[in-house]
Chains A and B, each alone.
Chain A
Amino acid sequence: MVNTKVSLCGVELTNPVVPASGTFGFGYEFNDIYDINILGAISIKGTTKEARFGNALPRIAECTSGLINSIGLQNPGIDAVIEKEIPRLRQVYRKPIISNISGFSIEEYVECCEKINKVDDVDIIEVNISCPNVHNGGMSFGTLPENAEAVTKAVKKVTTKPVFIKLTPNVTDIVSIAKACEQGGADGISLINTSQGMRVDLKTRKPVIANKIGGFSGRAIFPIAMKMVYQVYEAVKLPIMGIGGVATAEDVIEMMMAGATAVQVGAENLVNPYACKDIIEALPNVMEKYKINDLNEIIGVAHK
């Protein structure tokens, strides 16, 4: 028997496979097609202070080995998530819940994190700092080390649960951002969020997506995510949740070798609703194939 158990800041996961925020709703609807208790954890839909409808449609564009999305953080707001969505997930799901928080100002992050920190059913808070800062000309919090550190510090002040900061790859130096989060007191790093992208429709001669640009994800970004997980693992001492283009058990193992303790599966859920289940079921066999008895042995092994 191989060991697939990993630990994120004391939160035990029976395996490292976690559906990524925004690709799995609030989880419970997937329980209609398979028992979601096989998952390592679930990162639920990104939540903001107020309910948001999100961006204009179309919000989706096909790409080679991936897609561009510009959903615009559609969600029912933090209060509805706490009162309705998390309890509804808890009715069918016993494993760890990762609550993903977004904000457009430091005050919003703080308010949401303070609220979610009081929810017993939430095990880890994942703070998405890819959002534009409304007080700073719309520049993303995650693109400057000082802003990333400021959000981290502010959120850490009001929370007791482990806080993972989710980083955008659309930066000149991911390492400096990750270090700033560590400096700010982060308990872990999730990376990467989507890479910016765009498509134009040849017939209409206009951008496919109403918002013109969006976030590119899917298998195509796996090497980009790999590189960033690898770099950040060298630079910080925090556990990493690797995200980006993961579609197979082999991808999970590869990303763990680069330095991830757990691995999130995103876009693949949208084309194969059973993606996480398929990966989890394949994992022990793939581990045996590569002579891995315990996944903890391979975290960051590519650096040695």
Chain B
Amino acid sequence: MKQGFFTVQANVKLTDSVYKMVLLGDTSAIERPGQFVNIKLDGLFLRRPISVCDYEEGKLTIIYKVVGVGTEKMSKMIGGEKLDILTGLGNGYFTDFSGDKPLLVGGGVGVPPLYHLAKCLIKEGKNPTVVIGFNTISEIFGKEDFEKLGVKVLVATVDGSFGIKGFVTDAIAQVEDYSYVYTCGPEPMLKAVYNATTTSGEYSFEERMGCGFGACMGCSCKTKYANKRICKDGPVLVKEEIIW
């Protein structure tokens, strides 16, 4: 974990409620995909945890949905603002166990952390397939970014306005072969993926947090082996430890 100041370089609207923010600052504490950052905003007491979509030296990209006062404030930023951010939070995804054909499944704002993961897996010579799900066509984002990486992307929309009609699990049914599952999204989706897939995998959870670095026990959950803090011991849990 590291605390630092980042400058907003760009803040672009992707859909009605989803924004992509590029920040410049020290990213050296970010170790792997699936970790998150915790952002201090003027006038708010608690920081706002947001997953890392992509990062490189000196540059951080996050994609967030406006869901409350914090993300609303972020959405109004025009560039040049300085933000106090804690980086390198959470365990993140481990690429070691992925096998050759990992399946990446994201729903809504669960999609962003899979982007840097896909990049890492490709760099390691693996061949990921990406399944992303949204409610409707106007909510879709990220499809082209994954395609530019050269991976196969399946899109599911609940109302059938684009791609496969139905849930991510309907799209997963069309994937012939996969070696491991990486997923992030709302909990009902995670559970559906858990039941619909046959391999092991890593599941990234979302929870209301206090501190974001393990001090307050605000986001604890039970697993088969121990109580875990989503912010510090998670947000990624392996399939075998999840109680469902």
Instruction: Report A's interface with B, CB cutoff 8 A.
Output: 22-25, 29-30, 32-33, 45, 53-54, 57-60, 62-67, 69, 71, 74, 218-219, 267, 269-274
Q: Evaluate whether A67 and B215 lie within 8 angstroms (CB atoms) in the complex, with A53-B220, A60-B210, A273-B3 already known.
A: no
Provide the B173-185 mask, 1 if CB < 8 A to any CB of A, else 0: 0000000000000
**Least Cβ distance of B87 to chain A in Å?**
12
B214 engages A29 (CB within 8 Å): yes
A63 to B220, CA, bound (A): 21
A60 engages B44 (CB within 8 Å): no
A219 to B217, CA, bound (A): 20
Counting chain B CB atoms within 10 Å of each CB, which of A53, A54, A62, A65 scores highest? A62
Residues of A within 8 A of B46 (CB): 60, 62, 67, 270-271
Q: A66 — nearest CB in chain B belongs to which residue?
A: B45
A25 to B213, CA, bound (A): 10
A69 engages B218 (CB within 8 Å): yes
Residues of A within 8 A of B219 (CB): 57, 59-60
- Please report whether the interface of chain A is mostly helix, strand, loop or mixed according to DSSP: loop
B208 engages A269 (CB within 8 Å): no
Residues of A within 8 A of B216 (CB): 22-23, 60, 69, 71, 270
Q: B214 — nearest CB in chain A belongs to which residue?
A: A29
A271 engages B40 (CB within 8 Å): yes
Number of B interface residues in the complex (CB < 8 A): 27
Provide the B212-235 mask, 1 if CB < 8 A to any CB of A, else 0: 011111111110000100001000
Q: Which of B3, B45, B214, B220 contacts A274 (CB 8 A)?
A: B3
A29 engages B215 (CB within 8 Å): yes
Q: Is B85 an interface residue (CB 8 A)?
A: no
**Least Cβ distance of B161 to chain A in Å?**
25
B208 engages A273 (CB within 8 Å): no
**Least Cβ distance of A217 to chain B in Å?**
10
29 sample A-B contacts, Cβ–Cβ < 8 Å, listed by A number: A22-B216, A22-B217, A24-B215, A25-B214, A29-B213, A33-B1, A45-B217, A53-B220, A53-B227, A57-B208, A57-B220, A58-B207, A59-B220, A60-B208, A60-B218, A60-B219, A63-B45, A65-B45, A67-B45, A67-B210, A71-B218, A74-B227, A267-B45, A270-B211, A271-B45, A271-B47, A273-B1, A273-B3, A273-B213
